[in-house]
Structure 1
């Protein structure tokens, strides 16, 4: 069983998986390769002069995998509660189990709604529905969290990436029983 499964591997999901894996949590990152970030061009992403969406997404995947996240190319189609966690079923019939799930599915709320997660009207242009979350990223179902555009934050990649990191830190903190902080320092 994974401690944290992240469904959606754009900036929010990959960032969440990166933080979770770097914190030593057994992490699964599920990507259907259909995210809107792949179609973008970014000149407003802090620390990068310019980058195409495909390169930004691939770099995020590589960072998460570097720290131990398992990346799978799948389409999650079902999310159900199971004993002490959740079962994620994919289009190919593969089953994954996780204690916590972070939904980072961009503009798509159908998987969340099917699982009983509450949604609400979105405020971003062209984003009609989002997942209802508290400030930590928790949904109405204990153990299911949401990050990024699907959680109602601005559709800008830099903002969704930060939201993914924030939600992951909150999940890690809950798992650890104490506030988690990850600060690296320059090597001498």
Structure 2
């Protein structure tokens, strides 16, 4: 069983998986290869002069995998509660189990709604519905979290990436029973 499964591997999802894996949590990152970031061009992403969406997404995947996240190319179609967590079923019939799930599905709320997660009207242009979350990223179902565009934050990649990191830190903190902080320092 994974401690944290992230469904959606764009900036929000890959960032969440990166932080979770770097914190030593057994992490699954599910990518359906259909995210809107892949179609973008970015000249407003802090620390990068310019980058195409496909390269940005692939870099995020590599970072998460570097720290131990397992990346799978699947389409999650069902999310159900089980004894100690959740069961994620994919289009190919593969089953994954996780204690916590972070939804980072961009503009798509179908999986969340099917799982019983509350949704609400979106405020971003072209984003009609989002998952209802609290300030930490928690949904109405304990153990299911949401980050990025699906959680109602701005569709800008830099903002969704930060939100994914924030939500992962909150999940890690809950798992650890104490506030988690991840700060690297330059090596002398």
Q: TM-score range by the shorter chain?
A: over 0.9
Task: Report the Cα offset of residue 43 of structure 1.
Answer: 0.1
Distance in 2 separating the partners of 1:174 and 1:139: 14
Q: 1:46 Cα shift? A: 0.2
Q: Deviations over 1:33-54 (max 9, x none)?
A: 0000000000000000000000
Moved over 3 A (4+): none
Structure 1's unaligned 5+ residue stretches are none
Deviations 1:126-163 (A, max 9, x none): 00000000000000000000000000000000000000
TM-score norm. by structure 1 comes to 1.00
How far does residue 25 in structure 1 lie from its aligned partner after superposition?
A: 0.0
- Equivalents in 2 of 1:128, 1:2: separation in Å? 31
Tell me the alpha carbon deviations over residues 50-108 of structure 1, each in whole angstroms, 9 at most, x when there is no partner: 00000000000000000000000000000000001000000000000000000000000
Question: Does the residue aligned with 2:125 lie in a helix, a strand or coil?
Answer: coil
**Structure 2 residues not aligned, in runs of 5+:** none
Q: TM-score, with normalisation over the residues of structure 2?
A: 1.00
1:59 aligns with 2:59: yes
**Count of aligned residue pairs for this structure pair:** 188
CA RMSD of aligned residues (A): 0.1
